[in-house]
Amino acid sequence: MSASARPSATLPNILVIGTGDTKSDELLFMADIIGKAGGLPVMVDVSVLGDPPYMPDYSRHDIAKAADVTMQQIIDSGDENSAMALMAQGASNLVRMLYDAGQVDGMIALGGSMGTDLALDAAAVLPLGVPKFVVSTIAYSHLLPPERISPDLMMILWAGGLYGLNPICRAVLSQACGAVVGAAKVGIKPENDRPLIGMTSLGSSCLKYMKYLKPELEKRGYDVAVFHSTGMGGRAYEAIAAQKGFAAVFDLCIQEVTNHHNGSVVTSGPDRMENAGRAGIPQIVAPGAVDMVDIQAWQTLPLQFVDRPYHAHNRLIGSVTTSPDGRREVARVIGLKLESATAPVAFILPSGGIQEWDQAGEPLYEPEALDAFLDEMRKTVPASAQFEEMDAHINSPEFAVKALEVFDRWVAEGVVPRGRT
């Protein structure tokens, strides 16, 4: 280990991850900027075929060793995909080992599609609150599956930077390096003073229960994180749930399940509504907005939805309703996900409606389609779940009161830890 790889008492250690055999100019430029910004660059080389023209703090051979293979085995593994998959495994193992040893205050990675693939794995092993930045030629692309993106991942498009330095590339790289050093210096890591409750919702023009539930839960000694269920918000919720980051969850807007089932790009991935149950976290679940499929408002409606009621929320996102049969399909998907939970589940079914625009006089009012969903949902909620049906709308005060009643009962029974005031 070189001197620069040792933890510093005053400067944040920033891992700089990239293929030094092909991107040495860029990576050395980044190291220089990080140093000037008040950070300590720790160079992690993930090259496969050759060594960089500088001495990294952790070489490609160190990466191979962290994956329990040799560099030659990686080279002989078959093709570039299998080789980079092994390098990603080794890089992730090394990053986590360094973090556990107190030697990581942040990371930044550089790459095209292959380097980004590796970078996403390396970022995923670092907990929420550790700055993680990816400079990528495919930043913000639909090539990136939402389930691969860490809750607090920062990205910037590596504009004009596929090969060699230039004025545009220097501008982008310097911004990214300054951002990760700044985040490492001033970022506040999540505290664990009070149990954390995860809650999902949409904006209050569509769903309103969080306005009542959040202050009530805070009075009881809990912190409450409300996640915006528009794809990446649900992804962040799922990632934290997978790490057992919640004491309990109010997963009351599961519309992203409908989105994913219908092929919308507004998806949280195939495991939406699964990680809390898998992690043994108690769940209070409701079908908030599952009658809608989100689409990009700036694109033409998909053919299968051209005859369905449509609501344009803004210039970015609009929602179209699903048919009665489509709602029955989603009800069955929800039932299967509930069935897989390993901790208590309560499912609340508000028969008066499940989002603001499905009421009489609103653009998405379809009582027959809602009835189809309700009928199927009654059949598919598993016996292992507590089932609560109520004659109320999801935005009514009665719904929020019912959800809180379930929660308070679980606290009294010891299912959920008591809050700390």
Q: Percent of the chain scored above 90 by pLDDT?
A: 86
Give the pLDDT of residue 9.
55
User: Strand pairing partners for 382?
Assistant: none
Indicate if the pLDDT at residue 145 is higher than 60.
yes
**Mean pLDDT confidence for 20-44:** 97
Which tokens go with 304?
A: 């299968």
**pLDDT grade, residue 6 (50/70/90)?**
very low
Give the pLDDT of residue 343.
96
Indicate if the pLDDT at residue 312 is higher than 60.
yes
More confident residue, 3 or 151: 151
Q: What DSSP character marks residue 58?
A: B
Give the pLDDT of residue 4.
44
Which tokens go with 258?
A: 């409908």
Closest CA to 284 of 394, 366, 122, 137: 394
User: Could you give the count of Cα atoms lying within 13 Å of 47 in the half-sphere of its Cβ?
Assistant: 19
Beta carbons of 289 and 206 less than 8 angstroms apart: yes
Distances (CA, A) of 306 to 78, 247, 326: 46, 42, 15
**Burial grade of 280 (CB within 10 A; 0-12, 13-18, 19 or more):** exposed
- Asked whether residue 243 is assigned to any structural domain, the reply reads yes
Same domain, 174 and 297: no
Give the pLDDT of residue 304.
85
**Mean pLDDT confidence for 395-409:** 98
Tell me how long the chain is: 421
Beta carbons of 386 and 161 less than 8 angstroms apart: no
Strands of 229-360 (E only): list them: 248-251, 283-285, 292-296, 310-312, 317-321, 345-350
Q: What is the CATH number of the domain that holds 152?
A: 3.40.50.12020
- Asked whether residue 336 is assigned to any structural domain, the reply reads yes
- Asked whether residue 420 is assigned to any structural domain, the reply reads no
Same domain, 248 and 382: yes
Phi, psi of 344 (to 5 degrees): -55, 140
**Mean pLDDT confidence for 203-211:** 95
Same domain, 408 and 308: yes
Phi, psi of 314 (to 5 degrees): -160, -165
**Mean pLDDT confidence for 23-47:** 97
Same domain, 225 and 179: no
**pLDDT grade, residue 221 (50/70/90)?**
very high
Average pLDDT, the chain: 94
Give the pLDDT of residue 163.
82
Same domain, 252 and 380: yes
Global confidence as pTM: 0.87
Q: For 351-387, what is each residue's pLDDT tens digit? A: 999 999 999 999 899 999 999 999 999 999 999 999 9
Indicate if the pLDDT at residue 119 is higher than 60.
yes
Residue 331 belongs to what domain range?
Answer: 196-413
The C-alpha atoms of residue 30 and residue 16 are separated, in whole angstroms, by: 8
**Mean pLDDT confidence for 193-199:** 96
Alpha helices in 2-141 (DSSP H): 24-36, 60-66, 71-75, 80-100, 113-124
Give the pLDDT of residue 107.
98
